[in-house]
A and B are shown apart, each in its own frame.
Chain A
Amino acid sequence: MADTTDTAHFNRARNAAESPVKRFFRATEIDTRLLGMVGAMLIIWIGFDFLSNGLFLTPRNLWNLSVQTASIAVMATGMVLVIVTRNIDLSVGSILGFVGMIMGVLQAELLPQLLGFNHPATWIITLLAGLALGAAIGALHGMIIAFLNVPSFIVTLGGLLVWRGATWFVTSGRTVAPMDATFRLMGGGTEGSIGATASWIVGLIACLAIVVSILNARKQRKRFGFPRRPVWAEYLLSAVGCLLVLGAVTIANSYPWPTNIARRYAEANGIAWPEGGLFIAHGIAIPVLIAIVIGIVMTFISTRLRFGRYVFAIGGNPEAAELAGIKTRWVTVRIFALMGMLCAVAAAISTARLNAATNAQGELDELYTIAAAVIGGTSLAGGMGTIAGAMLGALVMQSLQSGMVLLGIDSPLQRIVVGVVLVTAVWLDTVYRARAK
């Protein structure tokens, strides 16, 4: 029973193996697409660094970049699942605004009356209420899409208008400030960073996790006698992974507190002010940590859980998924509820960072979120996309923006550049995919 197409493909694979570059990628199983994105981002970074005379690739700028990316990156992870199932969510910016406003009012006006000012439970009650509200709004959108068969484009376009309008009604357009002190830590800044020692600990745990997961995958494949990566590839992947993590921690730990804050801290703690100034490192910012944890959780959900498998199966062939007995409608509801929750997390990060809830919070965020997911390789035709890619896409978008701010480019021109880059990136991706077939 010789299968001709099979053997043909086999030969092709063998021929390809002759090129050392291809052999390298096959052995390491690295996603070349993702690698290409990292390459593009490095080019953007080095280009901006060159144009700004070395201002871009400084610990300070990179640290700020990571904090600025966090909110969009969090939402982009959910947008991947939405787009993978051939839906779209245009309402994320407005949900962010509405949930942010509710959380603002809750912690700045309602809870202080009930619990007293700066009560330690304020932040968690606020956050949980925000998450529940976000999930409820998302679930509502999902149910209208799944059970009333209204296209997601329309439902969320309506949501964009409704929740933006609702945001205004909460306080009649008034900005709410300040936020609770603990809540504010989620926004980053000097206080909202975990410091040098904790950052190293986080880094080491991450390295350990990388090594353990690579070992575990190898053991599993060995148990069932499947082909394994060559040992050198495993070492290389572990080494590169750990180096990247530790490099990122080093950069975060090289960005010191501003002098006056450090001086105040020294005075408060009775530390003598040294000659050259006191070096207290920021370390990893809490919003960045939140985004990374969400990235890991979402990757776990999308690749290791049945729910994630269903999301991709529905994206690949909705009819087949339905015939296989998957409750596709409920999966849709859950995806949108999850998206709403992620909007709430993003709302917490951005209100905490701004130390205020405003009427215009999250405007245009839906577009940046969709752009991040799409630049990150999520196919609008459905069925394809990765969480890591979308987060990287968010970082690329933010790099472009903050690089242009650094160069003093006018904001109308910034938008033009971002728009052109979005279209170009998707075009390049289409070309790449056509070739890969």
Chain B
Amino acid sequence: MTEQRTPLVEMKNISISFGGIHAVDNASVDLYPGEVVALLGHNGAGKSTLIKILSGAYRRDAGEILINGEPAEINNPRDAKKYGIETIYQTLAVADNVDAAANLYLGRELRTPWGTLDDVAMEAKAREVMGRLNPNFQRFKEPVKALSGGQRQSVAIARAILFNARILIMDEPTAALGPQETAQVGELIKQLKREGIGIFLISHDIHDVFDLADRVSVMKNGQVVGHARTEDVTKDEVLGMIIMGKVPPKAIPGPGAMQMA
């Protein structure tokens, strides 16, 4: 890495194990402002687990996390939010039974001076944000359960940008979407990038994210195979990293790289 700026996020030598299985083993990744880093790997390669440590859902066994070059204590989702880390989960973590506005503000509701929920103000803001993201969205009064996959995804993304996220984690952001909605999410990612937000994209499908990402980090069996700039490698080479752990010449090998004979 030739960049001299301080990384937005630096996860150093992170390890976590569940019942003796090393889900993540000595993994290091970093992310710069306005950069999109794709975290790739098979199902079970440890990428979701690694990122859940950053978002506070899991607590690491070892290693450290630096935010803007300073050590960060992230022990739960609330801590992560304090550092401007917002996550959009693969399972679209929305509460199905309440409406879009309630989901956007879940955990950080706007309140009137009397301490009651200010639903009208929340709906107004929700209409504004959703209008920017997805102008067709009109169903503010319905529980999120009634929405399509793409609409739910836009609710989840709106939720993240509503709170001025600086670091956005998107787990399989387009897995549940049709082609049109995927393109929409792609546009959105470019827009967020211009605003200087750092984005981690997590996917097991290289085609989903290769064109959106500036860099890729590949994981296999809980270890980092290597990092590479997308301009330096081809899709096939990255595929080789994912499947066999074979690191192409222009990539930087990690601890999980296949040992060359």
Residues from chain B with a CB closer than 8 A to the CB of A232 are none
Q: Which of B130-138, B201-209, B210-218 contacts A (4 or more CB under 8 A)?
A: B130-138
Pairs A–B under 8 Å by Cβ, sample size 16: A1-B135, A5-B151, A6-B136, A6-B139, A7-B136, A9-B139, A305-B115, A306-B111, A309-B98, A312-B98, A323-B89, A324-B107, A325-B76, A325-B81, A383-B96, A383-B97
Instruction: Verify B95–A3 contact, CB threshold 8 A.
Output: no
B151 & A3 in contact (Cβ 8 Å cutoff) = yes
Closest Cβ of chain A to B16, distance in Å, is 17
Contacts of A7 in B (CB 8 A): 136
Establish whether residues A309 and B109, one from each chain, have CB atoms under 8 Å apart when the complex forms: yes
Question: Whole-angstrom distance between the alpha carbons of A323 and B81 in the complex?
Answer: 10
Contacts of B221 in A (CB 8 A): none
- Chain A CB within 8 A of B4 CB: no
* Contacts beyond the supplied A2-B136, A313-B106, A320-B95: 19 A-B pairs with Cβ under 8 Å: A1-B136, A1-B184, A2-B180, A3-B150, A3-B180, A6-B139, A6-B148, A7-B136, A221-B120, A226-B123, A312-B95, A312-B97, A315-B97, A316-B97, A317-B94, A320-B93, A323-B57, A323-B89, A325-B78
- Which residues of A in the span 283-305 have a Cβ within 8 Å of any Cβ on B? 300, 303-305
Inter-subunit contact B148/A316 (CB<8 Å): no
Q: Which residues of A contact B137 (CB under 8 A)?
A: 3, 6
Cβ of A322 within 8 Å of any chain B Cβ, yes or no, is yes
Tell me, in angstroms, the Cα distance from A27 to B116 when the chains sit together.
26
- A319 within 8 A of partner (CB): yes
- Does residue B91 face the partner (Cβ distance < 8 Å to A)? yes
Query: Main secondary structure on chain A at its contact with chain B?
Result: helix
Q: Which residues of A contact B (CB under 8 A)?
A: 1-3, 5-7, 9-10, 220-221, 223-224, 226, 300, 303-306, 309, 312-317, 319-326, 383-384
In the complex, residue of chain A having the shortest beta-carbon distance to the beta carbon of B120 = A220
Please give, as numbers and ranges, the residues of chain B lying within 8 Å of A323 by CB-CB distance. 55, 57, 77, 87, 89, 93
Q: Which residue of B lies closest to A315 (CB)?
A: B97
In this assembly, does B117 line the interface, its C-beta being within 8 Å of a C-beta of chain A? yes
Q: How many whole Å from B97's CB to the nearest CB in chain A?
A: 4
Tell me the number of A-to-B contacts counted with CB atoms below 8 Å.
104
Residue contact A325 to B107, C-beta cutoff 8 Å: yes
Instruction: Report how far A347 CA is from B148 CA in the complex, Å.
Output: 47
B residues within 8 A CB of A220? Answer: 120
Output the least CB separation between A402 and chain B (Å).
34
Closest approach, in angstroms, between the C-beta of A33 and any C-beta of chain B? Answer: 14
A326–B106 touching, CB < 8 Å: yes
In the complex the two chains form, what is the Cα distance from A314 to B95 in whole Å? 7
Residues of chain B contacted by A316 (CB below 8 angstroms): 95-98, 143
Shortest Cβ gap from A64 to chain B (Å): 36
Residues of B within 8 A of A223 (CB): 120
State in angstroms the CA–CA spacing of A326 and B91 once bound together. Answer: 18
Q: Which residues from chain A contact B123 at a C-beta distance below 8 Å?
A: 224, 226
> In the bound complex, how far is the Cα of B116 from the Cα of A326, in angstroms?
17
- Residue of B77, B148, B181 near A325 (CB, 8 A) is B77
Size class of the contact patch on chain B? 35 or more
User: For the complex, what is the distance from the CA of A304 to the CA of B120, rounded to whole Å?
Assistant: 11
Nearest-neighbour CB distance to chain A for B125, whole angstroms, equals: 10
Q: Taking each of A300, A303, A306, which has the highest tally of chain B beta carbons within 10 Å of its own beta carbon?
A: A306
- B185: min CB distance to chain A, Å: 11
B170 touches A (CB below 8 Å): no
Asked if residues B115 and A309 are in contact (CB atoms below 8 Å), the reply is no
The answer, yes or no, to whether B192 is at the interface (CB within 8 Å) is no
Residues of B within 8 A of A304 (CB): 116-117
4 tightest Cβ-Cβ pairs between the two chains A and B: A316-B97, A316-B95, A324-B107, A320-B93
Query: Is the beta-carbon distance between A224 and B106 smaller than 8 angstroms?
Result: no
| Contact with B134, one of A1, A224, A313 (Cβ below 8 angstroms) | A1
Give every chain B residue within 8 A of A3 (Cβ-Cβ): 134, 136-137, 148, 150-151, 180-181
Q: Is the CB of A313 within 8 A of B98?
A: yes
B124 within 8 Å of A (CB atoms) = yes
Most chain A CB within 10 A, of B96, B107, B123, is at: B107
Indicate whether B251 reaches chain A with its CB closer than 8 angstroms. Answer: no
Q: Is the CB of B117 within 8 A of A319?
A: no
Q: Which B residues touch A320, using CB under 8 A?
A: 93-95, 106
Are A1 and B180 closer than 8 Å at their CB atoms?
yes
A224 touches B117 (CB 8 A): no
Any A CB within 8 A of the CB of B54: no
B101 to chain A, nearest CB (A): 11
Report yes or no: A305 in contact with B117, Cβ–Cβ below 8 A: yes
Chain A residues lying within 8 Å of B139, measured Cβ to Cβ, are 6, 9
* Bound Cα distance A321, B134 (Å): 24
B102 CB-CB contact with A under 8 Å: yes
CB neighbours of B150 from chain A (8 A): 3, 5
CB contacts (< 8 Å) of A312 on chain B: these are: 95, 97-98
CA A119 to CA B134, docked complex, whole Å: 67
A306 and B77 in contact (CB under 8 A), knowing A224-B124, A317-B95? no
